[in-house]
Structure 1
Amino acid sequence: MARRFFGTDGIRGRTNDGVMTAAMAMKVGQAAGTHFLRGGHRHRVVIGKDTRLSGYMMESALVAGFTSVGMDVVMTGPLPTPAIALLTREMRADLGVMISASHNPFEDNGIKLFGPDGFKLSDEAELAIERLLEDDPPLVDAARIGRARRIDDARGRYIHAVKQSVSSDIRFDGLKVVVDCAHGAAYQVAPAAIWELGAEVIAMGVEPNGTNINREVGSTALAAICTRVVQESADIGIALDGDADRLIVIDEQGQPVDGDQIMALIATRLNARGALRGGGVVATVMSNLGLERYLETQGLTLERTKVGDRYVLERMKAGGYNVGGEQSGHMILLDHGTTGDGTLAAMRVLASLVRSGKRASEVLHVFDAVPQLLKNVHYSGNDPLRDEAVKACIAEAERELAGSGRLVIRASGTEPVIRVMAEGDDAAQVERVVDRICDAVARAA
């Protein structure tokens, strides 16, 4: 059964349009609440959000939905997505909800759901909730309607948890760190956690106004932090996205370091201590071939999944891995958390910098990436990947790259976009292949 509402990372869309309305949010609360009403205990859901203006509306609608089917609600206010996963498990809640569209602009919003174990829901659970969305919810009688309350110590709980991921003998004294929070969910907690371990913190992207989340700041708009790191003569820069589940690092020269390099660093450090589980790393089909080649030199493997940190996580759990992520910056460290956590991964990077005593540019560039090019083609009609001319163009490109590179073509799970990625040892060849496919897709779009 195809999913109608859930994409690769929950339900997402433009606010007050399509699936992302207050009415729909209330129905999601009722359906998800009904699905997780199991056992005779008093049921509880934890709801967090990022800093989007529409978060107030979506939060209120979700509260109405959950309480109407008999669930109590705990609201945390703005917190990173991984904090909600953590609190769901810590508070013995039946369900966790994060209201966020991650790195998307403020006009969008989304609903991410976590089970009582703090992990994102399986495809089967999401399908079950979708089926419930088609029916009228079983509302409880007046005496059993849920209660809602806000908690004041949620930020402190999360800060404590990410600090615990760093060995007690490590302090960040002497490090000057630029922290870009994208005017998003981590605007209070990320700078505080890094400062509390001794670093001098220069915070940016920490003045949310409801409409500036991810705007020219954060992990998907790196120009500002790259410039700031150099201007401040900082040792390193930390760039998070709107809900702080992804991380891009900037070295002292102002050069970005993506998720592939971060995974390589963390895996190498853990492997040297005998603490890397699974014999390698889990990443998606988008990770650079250079990462795969580097891991092979270390006697490690790269397990690839389709795009989406949920699929990375599923493979990690099935194979016993403790390090995984995406080139885009999602870092999943199962020794410390249940989902991608940019702040937690930043703490691990900073600890590695301290232990090495070297500059960030020496520590963070672990392997040589092969030339890789990704382009997006928007479409408004039918799926261009079904077009015979597009199929033929892709087949020709695969033959051309055989043995020297890779080709990944996919439809986005969150927007009407075809993503065309190629990589290989010959940069000119990679560019030709990508442009040729993009042209074919554009003609069919």
Structure 2
Amino acid sequence: MSRQYFGTDGIRGRTNQGLTAELAMKIGMAAGTHFLRGKHRHRVVIGKDTRLSGYMIENALVAGFTAVGMDVVQFGPIPTPAVALLAQSMRADLGVMISASHNPYLDNGIKLFGPDGYKLSDEDELKIEALLGQYIALAPSKEIGRARRIEDARGRYIHAVKSSFPADLRLDGLRIVIDCANGAAYQVAPSALWELGAEVIAIGVGPNGSNINDGCGSTAPMLLQETVVSSGADIGIALDGDADRLIIVDEKGQVVDGDQIMALIVTNFARAGVLRGGSLVATVMSNLGLERFLEGQGIGLERTKVGDRYVLERMREGGFNVGGEQSGHMILSDYGTTGDGTVAALQVLAALVRAKKPASEVLHPFDPVPQLLKNVRFAEGKPLEHADVQHVIAQAEAELNGCGRLVIRPSGTEPVIRVMAEGNREDQVRDVVDRICAAVEKVAT
């Protein structure tokens, strides 16, 4: 069965176009019906980021869930990993996060978590999709669900986040800039750092409904870089709109991407004897330099398709406890069931405290090989199946054989072909990517 609504990370679209209040209510009805299992009183927990459309979608979801007899607990603005955590701890049947992650505010999305705190399986998503096209029975009038809002959800999450930080360490003496992208973590992340003793300079903490990810956060670290340098901070931390993604900036203003962060965390886990499975799980987009570095450390690298759900699936299958993406999704399964930018940041800060060295000396454990990623937008069709494009790709693969890699894939969330190449020579990498992009553009227009 093909997917009409679910992508690689829940359901996402432009609000009042691809994602409407009507659709959100139907999703609530369908997901609620699917998880009405057993004779207990059923419960769903709902969190959201700070987008203007969050009010509309939340109310529509509440209507859908209560209409089929499921009680609703609303958290308000809270990170995605908090929803996963609280769905499990509150014995909920389902967790929902309303967010389009790092997308602009005009977009929104619905992410679903099962009672175990993990994102739904493909099987569950397909069953919910099937229900969206069917008649859904409503609960009898006397069995309509109730809705309530709780105010201490953020405090519960802060406590859980701090529990992931080593008990023998403090952040005293560290000046930390935290950029919350005007998103879901604008209250919890600065509070957690302050409670651990840090001097906190918080930016991106004034959400107004439309400024989420706007020139700030992990996808736009320029403001963080400037603030770190101008304030003389020791380190900068950038989260995305729903705080499941992390990018770091060292004291010199240099960006540290997910590959470097994963390298630091996985080697520290290995030295401490707590690394499970002997490998890091990352995607095909992670730099070849990371793979070579880990090999020198006696640590394996398991590669998956792009998407944190695929990383997590492989982690669960193989019993690994460290995984993530170059883009900044970090999954540390000892501390949570999904990516958590704040928890990953605390692992980085713990390494910094223990090393007693500047961030620039700690956070760049390997030298990445030249890597270039370009996106080509297309209107319709399947450009990658065109014979001319396949011919150019075959030539590029032959040129990079033994000295680099080529990764070409359609985006899972928008009509874009992503072309990535890496290798020992920067000029060769650039030439290969440009040729493939030109071939795709030629057949896509």
Q: TM-score, normalised by structure 1?
A: 0.99
Partner AA of 2:209 in structure 1: G
Partner of 1:149: 148
Partner of 2:208: 209
1:269 maps onto 2:268 in alignment: yes
Partner of 1:6: 6
Partner of 1:87: 86
- How far off is 1:380 after superposition? 1.0
What is the aligned-residue identity percentage?
A: 72
Partner of 2:289: 290
- How far off is 1:160 after superposition? 0.3
**How is 1:216-235 mapped onto 2 (pairs within 5 angstroms)?**
216-235=215-234
In the alignment, the residues of structure 2 paired with residue 371 and residue 275 of structure 1 have an alpha-carbon distance, to the nearest angstrom, of 32
1:104 maps onto 2:113 in alignment: no
**How is 1:103-122 mapped onto 2 (pairs within 5 angstroms)?**
103-122=102-121
Alpha-carbon displacement from aligned partner over 1:203-239 (angstroms, at most 9, x marks no partner): 0000000000000000000111111100001000000
Q: Secondary structure at the match of 1:396?
A: helix
**How is 1:115-194 mapped onto 2 (pairs within 5 angstroms)?**
115-194=114-193
In the alignment, the residues of structure 2 paired with residue 72 and residue 393 of structure 1 have an alpha-carbon distance, to the nearest angstrom, of 55
In the alignment, the residues of structure 2 paired with residue 23 and residue 387 of structure 1 have an alpha-carbon distance, to the nearest angstrom, of 38
In the alignment, the residues of structure 1 paired with residue 291 and residue 283 of structure 2 have an alpha-carbon distance, to the nearest angstrom, of 11
In the alignment, the residues of structure 1 paired with residue 240 and residue 419 of structure 2 have an alpha-carbon distance, to the nearest angstrom, of 23
In the alignment, the residues of structure 2 paired with residue 444 and residue 234 of structure 1 have an alpha-carbon distance, to the nearest angstrom, of 49
Partner AA of 2:83 in structure 1: I
Q: Secondary structure at the match of 2:105?
A: coil
1:61 maps onto 2:56 in alignment: no
In the alignment, the residues of structure 2 paired with residue 216 and residue 167 of structure 1 have an alpha-carbon distance, to the nearest angstrom, of 33
Partner AA of 2:433 in structure 1: V
In the alignment, the residues of structure 1 paired with residue 382 and residue 160 of structure 2 have an alpha-carbon distance, to the nearest angstrom, of 44
Q: Return 5+ residue gaps in structure 2 as ranges.
A: none
- How far off is 1:272 after superposition? 0.4
Partner of 1:431: 430
- How far off is 1:2 after superposition? 1.7
Alpha-carbon displacement from aligned partner over 1:289-335 (angstroms, at most 9, x marks no partner): 01111111111110000000000000000000000000000000000
- How far off is 1:4 after superposition? 1.1
Partner of 1:42: 41
Partner of 1:257: 256
Partner of 1:75: 74
1:343 maps onto 2:345 in alignment: no
Partner of 2:243: 244
Partner AA of 2:231 in structure 1: E
Partner AA of 1:5 in structure 2: Y
Q: Secondary structure at the match of 1:282?
A: strand
In the alignment, the residues of structure 1 paired with residue 314 and residue 86 of structure 2 have an alpha-carbon distance, to the nearest angstrom, of 24
Q: Secondary structure at the match of 1:98?
A: strand
Partner of 2:329: 330
In the alignment, the residues of structure 2 paired with residue 383 and residue 55 of structure 1 have an alpha-carbon distance, to the nearest angstrom, of 34
In the alignment, the residues of structure 2 paired with residue 222 and residue 444 of structure 1 have an alpha-carbon distance, to the nearest angstrom, of 34
Partner AA of 1:246 in structure 2: R
- How far off is 1:167 after superposition? 1.3
In the alignment, the residues of structure 1 paired with residue 372 and residue 295 of structure 2 have an alpha-carbon distance, to the nearest angstrom, of 23
Report the RMSD for the aligned CA atoms in angstroms.
0.6
The number of aligned residues is 444
In the alignment, the residues of structure 2 paired with residue 326 and residue 188 of structure 1 have an alpha-carbon distance, to the nearest angstrom, of 25
**How is 1:397-416 mapped onto 2 (pairs within 5 angstroms)?**
397-416=396-415
Partner AA of 1:422 in structure 2: A
In the alignment, the residues of structure 1 paired with residue 56 and residue 36 of structure 2 have an alpha-carbon distance, to the nearest angstrom, of 24
Partner AA of 2:144 in structure 1: I
In the alignment, the residues of structure 2 paired with residue 381 and residue 129 of structure 1 have an alpha-carbon distance, to the nearest angstrom, of 27
- How far off is 1:396 after superposition? 1.0
- How far off is 1:383 after superposition? 2.1
Partner AA of 2:384 in structure 1: L
Q: Return 5+ residue gaps in structure 1 as ranges.
A: none
- How far off is 1:393 after superposition? 1.0
Alpha-carbon displacement from aligned partner over 1:52-90 (angstroms, at most 9, x marks no partner): 000000000000000001100000000000000000001
- How far off is 1:347 after superposition? 0.8
Partner AA of 1:79 in structure 2: I
- How far off is 1:162 after superposition? 0.5
